[in-house]
């Protein structure tokens, strides 16, 4: 497996925890609030990333840059959602992430937002923007739940809430599973239809379904 950094992922697949060894003078991009521990010789700078478009997603518009100064250092990263972590090495290729999946990357990975368009964004039940990652270096991304990597050749259908990432070689469109009655009452709703050749990463749980499951157990104030 190609990698610019020595790293280790512990506690898979439920509460994945990433440890990265930074050589002296090297920098790592990390999603805001994800740093758990770091050596004292590692400095941090906060950069505004994604512009107004990322602000609209409701996600953090900041990416922290951690640099090992005066010698090598270790940084540990804990993403927000309970779930899995995946590493891939980009070598001039492109991967799209759902808007909350980015965890960390090498400095030469370009992280930018991609407008899905009103139809794809509004009607997917997800967000109007994807994160487009390109360049050469390490990329880590996370899920809610465990993660599965699927090789796609031809057509493949995924519920929009289960999509984590996909490669650039795939085209996609948003569609409903059945008729409009199914859309509103089946609990299934909308799917993403991928076409072409590439990879799709899916998560074994989705946030909306989990929120519905938790909802009856929430504490409720009794009326006095």
- Kindly report, residue by residue over 146-175, the tens digit of the pLDDT: 999 999 999 999 988 899 999 998 998 888
Please tell me the predicted confidence (pLDDT) of residue 58: 45
The DSSP 8-state label assigned to residue 2 in this structure reads: -
pLDDT at 184 > cutoff 80:
no
Distances in whole angstroms, Cα of residue 157 to Cα of each of 18, 168, 202: 30, 16, 11
pTM metric for this prediction: 0.82
C-beta separation of 174 from 160 below 8 A: yes
Residue-wise pLDDT tens digits, 186-207: 445 678 899 999 999 999 987 6
Contact (CB, 8 A) for 200 and 156: yes
Torsion of CA 65, 70, 72, 74, to 10 degrees: -50
What is d(CA 72, CA 25) in angstroms, rounded to the nearest whole number? 8
* Eight-class DSSP state of 177: S
- Domain extent listing, the chain: 6-214
Q: Is the pLDDT of residue 210 over 90?
A: no
Q: What is the third-level CATH fold of 6-214?
A: Double-stranded beta-helix (3.60.160)
| Whether 61 contacts 54, CB under 8 Å | yes
């Amino acid at each position: 497996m190609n990698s610019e950094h020595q790293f280790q992922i512990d506690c898979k697949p439920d509460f994945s925890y990433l440890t990265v060894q930074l050589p002296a003078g090297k920098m790592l991009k990390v999603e805001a609030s994800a740093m758990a521990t770091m050596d004292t010789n590692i400095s941090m700078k906060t950069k505004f990333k994604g512009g107004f478009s990322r602000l609209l997603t409701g996600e953090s518009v900041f990416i922290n840059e951690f640099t090992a100064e005066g010698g090598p250092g270790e940084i540990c990263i804990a993403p927000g959602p309970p779930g899995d972590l995946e590493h891939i090495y980009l070598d001039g290729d492109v991967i799209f992430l759902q808007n909350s999946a980015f965890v960390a990357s090498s400095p030469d990975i370009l992280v930018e937002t991609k407008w899905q368009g009103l139809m794809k964004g509004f009607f997917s039940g997800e967000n109007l923007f994807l994160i487009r990652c390109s360049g050469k270096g390490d990329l880590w991304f996370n899920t809610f739940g465990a993660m599965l990597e699927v090789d796609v050749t031809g057509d493949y259908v995924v519920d929009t809430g289960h999509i984590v990432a996909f490669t650039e070689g795939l085209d996609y469109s948003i569609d409903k599973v059945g008729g409009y009655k199914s859309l509103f009452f089946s609990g299934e709703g909308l799917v993403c239809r991928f076409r072409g050749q590439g990879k799709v990463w899916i998560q074994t749980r989705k946030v909306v379904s989990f929120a519905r499951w938790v909802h009856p157990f929430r504490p409720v104030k009794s009326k006095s």
